[in-house]
Amino acid sequence: MQTQTQVTTTPPLPGVDLVTQINAALRTHGTNLAGPDDPAALALPYYTWADTGTNRLRRRNAAGSAWVDIAPILGRLLAASEVGDAAFASIAGTVAGGALFEMGANSNGRWLRFADGTQICFTISNLNLSGSSWTSSPGGFSYLQLGAQVIPAAFVGSAPSLVAGSFYDNDISGRSAYLAGMSQPTLTQFPAGGYLVSPAASAPGSSSGSLRLITLGNWKT
């Protein structure tokens, strides 16, 4: 409802008119100035407007000069008990510090997203090297080309950068293998072309290990 929000102070004001104006003002305040038209002429600083034209809840700024979008009209806030203490603390920290925006995980690893658009991805791949074809080098070592590795969350804009990588070999006694290099990542994966290198001239045919890659880029521009 969008009617006058204050009772007139200009006399005379018969009792019936007073009651009518009070009821109208209460309805206006109680419905948060609900309506499709901008009620700026009725609003003071920090007034709330239920904009039924766009289904958005807006609040007048401190200067009383503009509306600030708050949320959907029928949206609601979640209590800490509904999201869990740890999640609630993470959200509160994000709002207060303006830093960590989102974190998540899937079968390809984990990621962190920050409010400024930065994204850090931790690709974790458990490799089964059983039956893999290692190539012996005249230099007395052997190497194995890696297949494509999927990044857990897609980047946007420019291709991300690999900032760190490692390989933990589960068969140290038989062969210690090291990550020698990775292909340049795209927005969604490391294409085939990375290499593991072993100081052994010929590698055993059965092994496994964990490949871990840290990638830096943007989730928004």
Q: What is residue 196's predicted lDDT score, i.e. its pLDDT? A: 85
Structure-block tokens of residue 83:
């999201």
3-class SS shares of the chain: helix, strand, coil, % to 5: 15, 35, 50
CATH fold of 108-218 reads Immunoglobulin-like (2.60.40)
Lowest mean pLDDT among 33-42, 57-66, 88-97, 154-163: 88-97
Separation between Cα atoms, residue 155 and residue 217, nearest integer Å: 6
Helix (H, G, I), strand (E, B) or coil at 55: coil
What ranges in 15-84 are assigned the alpha helix state H? Answer: 15-30, 80-83
Q: What is residue 80's predicted lDDT score, i.e. its pLDDT? A: 46
Q: Domain extents for the chain?
A: 15-72, 108-218
Strand 135-136 to 118-128 pairing: unpaired
Q: Under a CB-based contact definition with an 8 Å cutoff, are residues 20 and 50 in contact?
A: no
Tell me the residue length of the chain: 221
Residue 52 confidence class, pLDDT cut points 50, 70, 90: confident
One-letter amino acid for residue 95 of the chain: V
Residues 6 or more apart in contact with residue 207 via CB below 8 angstroms: 129, 130, 132, 169, 170, 171, 174, 175, 177
What are the b/e assignments for 89-104, b being 16+ CB within 10 Å? eeeeebeeeeeebeee
Residue 101 confidence class, pLDDT cut points 50, 70, 90: confident
Residues 6 or more apart in contact with residue 105 via CB below 8 angstroms: 111, 152
Q: pLDDT digit string (tens) for 135-144?
A: 888 877 888 8
What ranges in the chain are assigned the alpha helix state H? Answer: 15-30, 80-83, 85-97
Q: pLDDT digit string (tens) for 177-194?
A: 778 789 999 999 999 988
- Whether pLDDT at 149 is above 90: yes
Residues 6 or more apart in contact with residue 148 via CB below 8 angstroms: 189, 190, 191, 192
Q: What is residue 103's predicted lDDT score, i.e. its pLDDT? A: 87
